[in-house]
Amino acid sequence: MTTPNKILATLNASAFAAALLASTSIASAEDLNVKWKGAPEFSSADGNYKMKIRGRLFTDWATLSDNDGKIADTTEFRTARLGVEGVVMKDVKYKFEIDFAGNKATIKDAYVEWALKPISIAVGQYKVPVSLEEQTSSRYITFMERSSMTDAFGFSRNVGISAHFAKKDFTVKAGVFQGNSGGNAANEGRTYAVRATYAAKIENSLIHVGASAFKRNNDKGDVTNHYRQRPHLHLSPTRFVDTGSFDAKSDTFFGAELGAIMGPLSAQAEWGWMKSQAPAGGMDASFNGGYVDVTYILTGDKRGYKGGAFDRIKVANPVFEGGTGAWQLAVRYDVIDLTDTVAAVIGGKQTTYVAGVNWHLNNYSRVMMNYSNSDINGGAYDGQKIKAFGMRFQVDW
């Protein structure tokens, strides 16, 4: 039982600790720098230590219909993340984020990185190095969802170790990964991945070229693969192309990338090929998918680019300063083909046309509107046409 004396002693100790902390803070205030990057970033005067609270909140609404009528009219928190990132002793970086969307807590990035130049070594959970759009943060992607192939082919975060080379306009990242923070297999399969990019700068324009590949082994005892995909909105209750589970022990991906920024005009395209390796005596199955899109910023602002991926749009005239913000128009052609008739895997082919409008109120918040039209050929939903409209209200810090 807690006595009054114990409570008083605890309060006295707390008061003493607070006073000591306050005196230390006053003494070292001149050594602390604070600057705002969506949220306050604290750093020591010599730059050896940094820390920033980070997060993002995406609130989505969508309505979808197929040949039989409306199938969804609903909302969700697509992302609700909170985390921290920083630097310890100048050359060791860290990042940790948890996503609370979907009424559950999911660890996203959780890693430490020894940041040397031009090579850095990262250990922990983070994105497997594959695909231009996968490596572009969801804060900066043009449409509400990434291309169909990134989800259908299971691009994700895994626990691993990787080396990253970056010098001038070149980047190369390669690593070995095994499982993720939510995995529970006793013997997890390994993924070997590599991605390389080059950015050619010509006057005020930038041309990006890149390629990536990975070899992914199934967990021990798992002898099936399964690929599937929704229409171009996460709120769809149905995945209209779906291979179902079929015999496989591993899969191999190769993808090619192309992007460009020419003032307010930008474009990007990717195509990927996935080959699923069957057990002995079986038949391998092959699938493919990709996209091409074009975007134009009416207000003359420019897309950012950094380290082999697209980055934040810096708004020249934010709304809070009396400006119009940045207005971006975009169109996309997207396709995912999950049918291999020779291997007798008939998942169907989904072809989607997407139009989008993004209003960036400032550097850290935007409103997104997407309209998409998808056609299904083959598979269980052959002949279906899905029309969808969605909105996102986004802020990050």
**pLDDT by residue (tens digit) across 339-379?**
999 999 999 999 999 999 999 999 999 999 999 999 999 99
| 3 state SS for 276-320 | EECCCCCCCEEEEEEEEEEEEECCCCCCEEECCEEECCCCCCCHH
Q: What is the pLDDT of residue 29?
A: 59
Is 206 a residue whose pLDDT tops 90? yes
Q: What is the pLDDT of residue 239?
A: 98
H/E stretch holding 58 reads strand 50-66
Q: Residue type for 259, please? A: G
Is 8 a residue whose pLDDT tops 50? no
Q: What is the pLDDT of residue 230?
A: 97
Is 218 a residue whose pLDDT tops 50? yes
CB 125 within 8 A of CB 97: no
Q: Residue type for 31, please? A: D
| Bridge partners, 80 (sequence order) | 57
Cα separation, 242 vs 225, in Å, equals 11
Proportion of the chain above pLDDT 70, given as a percent: 92
Q: What is the pLDDT of residue 52?
A: 96
Is 279 a residue whose pLDDT tops 70? yes
Lowest mean pLDDT among 36-50, 198-212, 248-262: 36-50
Average pLDDT, stretch 234-254? 97
Cα separation, 244 vs 264, in Å, equals 42
Cα separation, 356 vs 354, in Å, equals 7
Question: What sections of the chain are H helices per DSSP?
Answer: 4-28, 132-135, 148-152
What digits encode the pLDDT tens for the residues 69-87? 999 999 999 999 999 999 9
The contacts of residue 189 (CB under 8 Å, 6+ apart) are: 178, 216, 217, 218, 219, 220, 222, 250
Q: Residue type for 353, please? A: Y
Cα separation, 146 vs 94, in Å, equals 26
Cα separation, 226 vs 221, in Å, equals 15
Cα separation, 208 vs 200, in Å, equals 6
What digits encode the pLDDT tens for the residues 156-192? 999 999 999 999 899 999 999 999 998 888 999 999 9
Q: What is the pLDDT of residue 18?
A: 45
Is 387 a residue whose pLDDT tops 50? yes
* Class of CATH domain 31-396: mainly beta
Is 23 a residue whose pLDDT tops 70? no
Is 16 a residue whose pLDDT tops 50? no
Q: What is the pLDDT of residue 30?
A: 66
Cα separation, 263 vs 295, in Å, equals 11
Is 36 a residue whose pLDDT tops 90? no
Q: Residue type for 112, please? A: V
CB 195 within 8 A of CB 220: no
| Bridge partners, 110 (sequence order) | 96, 125
For residue 1, what are the CA distances in angstroms to 5, 6, 185, 346?
11, 10, 44, 68
Is 60 a residue whose pLDDT tops 60? yes
> Torsion over CA of 164, 171, 261 and 329, rounded to 10 degrees?
-30
Give the rounded distance of the alpha carbon of 318 from its chain centre. 25
Is 263 a residue whose pLDDT tops 50? yes
Is 204 a residue whose pLDDT tops 50? yes
Domain boundaries, the chain: 31-396
Strands (E), 149-234: 157-167, 170-178, 190-202, 205-217, 224-225, 228-229
Average pLDDT, stretch 46-62? 96
Mean pLDDT of the chain: 93
What digits encode the pLDDT tens for the residues 313-323? 999 999 999 99
Q: What is the pLDDT of residue 37?
A: 82
Q: What is the pLDDT of residue 325?
A: 98
Is 305 a residue whose pLDDT tops 70? yes
